[in-house]
């Protein structure tokens, strides 16, 4: 039964570039994810970007990503988005060091 649930969910990995560090991006992403029921994590990257890995149903993920993009539209310059099947290994959404 768990396999059926995981096939309905998706995983998305998004790399954000721009002025996305030092503006509350990770904490806001965590808040938006938790409010949306999205699991996964967010972290700053050494190149100044931010990476999000998130799992939920596709429609939920799309709404979450839209909310992130709207909140930080003036800071995001580019995104790279990759969709895959969910792994089911995340229980909540957190901030990685």
HSE value, Cβ hemisphere, 13 Å, CA-based, for 74: 2
The single residue of 26, 34, 62, 77 carrying the catalytic annotation is 26
CA 25/CA 43 separation, integer angstroms: 9
- 44 catalytic per annotation: yes
Helix (H) or strand (E) holding 57: strand 50-57
The single residue of 43, 44, 71, 82 carrying the catalytic annotation is 44
Phi and psi of 41, rounded to 5°?
-160, 165
CA 46/CA 6 separation, integer angstroms: 31
Catalytic residues: 26, 44
């Amino acid at each position: 039964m768990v396999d059926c649930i995981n096939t309905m969910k998706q995983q998305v990995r998004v790399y954000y570039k721009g002025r996305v560090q030092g503006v509350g991006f990770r904490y806001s992403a965590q808040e938006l994810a938790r409010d949306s029921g999205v699991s996964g994590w967010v972290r700053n990257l050494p190149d100044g970007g931010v990476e999000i890995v998130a799992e939920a149903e596709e429609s939920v993920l799309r709404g979450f990503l839209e909310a992130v993009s709207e909140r930080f539209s003036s800071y995001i310059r580019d995104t790279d988005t990759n969709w895959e099947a969910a792994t089911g290994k995340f229980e909540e959404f957190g901030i990685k060091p």
